[in-house]
Structure 1
Amino acid sequence: MDKLEQYRQTVKEILTEHSQIKPVYGEIQMKLVLDQERDRYQLLRTGWLEERRVYGTLIHIDLEDGKIWIQYDGTEIGVANELVERGIPTEDIVLAYHSPFMRQYDGFAVK
């Protein structure tokens, strides 16, 4: 399996695992959005918490230029940590939610 296919598979596994965690409060569903053609992967929360609408991204990951770009991570564990635990090298993970200047200090790829 080539590197990019391994990254796709790992990202899908992590998002699938997170999608199976049911929120404790409210009537909230977890929905996977997997665009393998464009290498865009998201996990959304949709539903209701009492009378308040819940809708938003929990995790958003793109694969670009042979690297995993974490655009948004709303988890406590940290998707980057999960990727590293599964053998993805830190130099292939970009924390895109950090400013380009700050990325030099986060221990992951700058771009």
Structure 2
Amino acid sequence: MAALENYRQLVKQLMSEYASFSTFDSGIENETIFDLENDRYMLLSIGWSQGRRIHYCIMHIDIIDERVWIQANNTDRLIAQELIAAGVSPESIVLGLQPPELREFTAYGLPHKQQKSLKVS
């Protein structure tokens, strides 16, 4: 349970740091959405630019079964490596943005169900 609370704090801290970066356009703001009840965390760009509505997901992370799932990373930074540097083990990170059949070839953890099926094969 302590690991879960730590993951929550790290994810919120990471997203808040990214949200503090200034945008290229004064009509666009970065906004964090923290759904603490369901462990869903998002960073969005929202606003108007050149007469067009901007609503863009920069980053989306979920915590599922006490693992940090990177669902979207539309930045040039390596979120998984930043989480590892902050103390999250690679086995506790799942690259949800990778196709399920490729996850076993990454340096990161697999969903519990996928791990079980790999052991049986």
TM-score in terms of structure 2 length:
0.86
RMSD (Å), alpha carbons? 1.3
State the match for 1:96 in structure 2.
Answer: 96
Query: How many angstroms does 1:78 deviate by?
Result: 2.0
Counterpart secondary structure, 2:37: coil
**Map of 1:48-67 to 2, 5 A cutoff?**
48-67=48-67
Equivalent residue, structure 2, for 1:29? 29
The answer to which structure has the higher strand fraction is 1
Single out whichever of 14-23 and 25-34 deviates more from structure 2: 25-34
Mapped partners of 2:65, 2:52: distance in 1: 39
Task: Select the structure of larger CA radius of gyration.
Answer: 2
Q: By how many angstroms is 1:30 displaced?
A: 0.6
Larger RCO: Structure 1 or Structure 2 (Cα < 8 Å, ≥ 6 residues apart)?
Answer: 1
Unaligned segments of structure 1, at least 5 residues: none
Percent identity between the aligned chains? Answer: 35
In structure 2, what is the Cα distance between the partners aligned to 1:58 and 1:106? 22
Displaced runs of 4 or more, over 3 A: none
| Greater percentage in helix | 2
Aligned length: 111
Greater Cα offset, 101-110 or 7-16? 101-110
> Offset at 1:32?
0.8
Partner Cα distance (2:104, 2:83) in 1: 19
Structure 1 position 79 matched with structure 2 position 79: yes
Q: Which whole-Å CA distance do the structure 1 matches of 2:25 and 2:105 have between them?
A: 36
